[in-house]
Amino acid sequence: MTDTPRFFDEMHNAGGAPRPPYDTYCSWFGSEDLRDLRKKSTDAEQFFRRTGITFNVYGQAEADERLIPFDIVPRIISAREWARLTRGIEQRVRAINAFLHDIYHRQEILRAGRVPVELIAKNDAFLPQMIGMAPPGNVYTHIVGVDLVRTGEDDFYVLEDNARTPSGVSYMLENRETMLQMFPELFTRVKVQPVSDYPRDLRRSLAASAPPNCSPDCTVAVLTPGIHNSAYFEHAFLADQMGVELVEGHDIRITGGKVQMRTTQGYKPIDVLYRRVDDDFLDPLNFRPDSMLGVPGIMDVYRAGGITIANAPGTGIADDKAIYSYMPDIVEFYTGEKAILQNVPTWRCSEPDALAYVLDHLSELVVKEVHGSGGYGMLVGPAASKKELAAFRAKLMSKPGNYIAQPTLALSTVPILTKAGLAPRHVDLRPFVLVAPDKISITPGGLTRVAIKKGSLVVNSSQGGGTKDTWVLEE
């Protein structure tokens, strides 16, 4: 008798036969020559290199610009599976927006004791400048990325929420474009929902969130920190795809109570600014006075209703991993429903009993900084050395409130193409959500990140992970 696989294989069932979403793909793959597929894989890499699809790695000057590995075996999700996921994602995003409005206004959830007051009051991501401020249309998170992991046939969990400035959508779009070029015949056999409408939908969604007194043509612009930012390719890509201007702080000034950008025809008012600059650097008059990336006084125009900033300042508190641990309560508080998508079980190290448990089981757990992102500042206990465990233990004991811990999940696998053929690797999924005052839209699929290294559970590109095209099948 063979042992049951520890990880859920998304492509094959326990008997080795293709699962229904992969039936047609597996039939096609079986008829292909492995050498031809490997050549296609090399061609795809060259395409990404020519297009300039790279990202920067901070703190590693010798390799500051890298190509994210791309795997040509798609991840396939059935229409039924996707329908359930979208219901859960929409419910969660609505709750996040309601939570943000509440904590900057009446703070009912704090009065009800469902979230501890100190978790907000002592949180660097909470902006006092936003108290009493309602963004146009009451939309705080115009663009959201919800990171999901799968552990079984019907078992999906939210790993974290990205409500500040979620990145990666350019890779979702370029991954699909590459697959369409490499395997056009495959898309005639497998009916996949398109993702190419995302830039147009983003433009429409942002325009729908414009302030009431905006200009008739509603001018949208993308604010980037500049070419040295790790996601600069994406900033330029999205501005180009939406047909809007890409601007830096020095391109903008405030005149007559309006935020205006420099153009070849002189200065032009901006109605909606899709900013990819962090809160701290957004306005040197209101936040960090040494910032060279933002626009002096933009918060004053924003508070006066003269511009929409997407995502709204202060949304980063919804990314906080300690707040994440309360998301089931937050969803229930604002929607009156149980959360459709569950959280990963989480220990808050700020609580003495939880800290004691985490310290006793450090080698079994994943420990994360509450404000961390990109896989930095994280301990994967089962993969850590004794020296790494000891060093992290000291950090944890000195500042326990900075950390949460979670079990090491048995993440599902999807095969990647290797020299020897198909080999399973762990994946997660970041669907992208657009929020307008009257509509929430979720692009079918999202960015599948894959741990290229055998046995690794870390999928972040900054830590060596790659990406895949994500196919959501039509009904």
Q: Residue 442 burial (CB < 10 Å; 0-12/13-18/19+)?
A: buried
The residue to which tokens 């993969």 are assigned:
383
DSSP label of 337: S
CA-to-CA dists, residue 144 to 38, 123, 235, angstroms = 35, 21, 16
CA distance linking residue 93 with residue 289, whole number of Å: 33
Domains of the chain: 68-174+192-211+307-339+427-472 (no CATH), 346-407 (3.30.1490.270)
The residue to which tokens 């999940």 are assigned:
409
Q: Which amino acid is at 284?
A: P
Phi, psi (rounded to 5 degrees) for 182: -75, -40
- Predicted TM-score (pTM) of the model is 0.92
Judged by DSSP in three states, 475 sits in coil
Cβ contact 230:55 at 8 Å: yes
**The pLDDT of residue 216:** 83
Q: What is the DSSP string of 384-430?
A: --HHHHHHHHHHHHH-GGGEEEEE-----EEEEEETTEEEEEEEEEE
Tens of pLDDT along the chain (475 residues)? 333 447 999 999 989 999 999 999 999 999 999 999 999 999 988 888 777 665 555 444 444 556 788 999 999 999 999 999 999 999 999 999 999 999 999 999 999 999 999 999 988 899 999 999 999 999 999 999 999 999 999 999 999 999 998 999 999 999 999 999 999 999 999 999 999 999 999 999 999 999 998 878 899 999 999 998 888 999 999 999 999 999 999 999 999 899 999 998 899 999 999 999 999 999 999 999 999 999 999 999 999 999 999 999 999 999 998 899 999 999 999 999 999 999 999 999 999 999 999 999 999 999 998 876 555 678 888 888 999 999 999 999 999 988 999 998 889 999 999 988 899 999 999 999 999 999 999 999 999 999 988 888 777 766 678 999 999 999 8
Helix H segments across 79-147? Answer: 79-103, 108-111, 117-121
> 3-state SS of 127-145?
CHHHCCCCCHHHCCCCEEE
Centroid of chain to Cα 143 = 9
**The pLDDT of residue 214:** 86
Cβ contact 472:461 at 8 Å: no
CA distance linking residue 195 with residue 445, whole number of Å: 8
* Cross-strand pairs, 412: none
Q: Which amino acid is at 7?
A: F
Q: Which amino acid is at 189?
A: R
Phi, psi (rounded to 5 degrees) for 233: -55, -45
Cβ contact 436:203 at 8 Å: no
CA distance linking residue 100 with residue 130, whole number of Å: 10
Composition of the chain by helix, strand, coil, percent to 5: 40, 25, 40
By DSSP bridging, strand 403-407 and strand 65-67 are unpaired
Nearest to 96, CA basis, from 269, 277, 328: 328
Structure tokens at 30: 């079986």
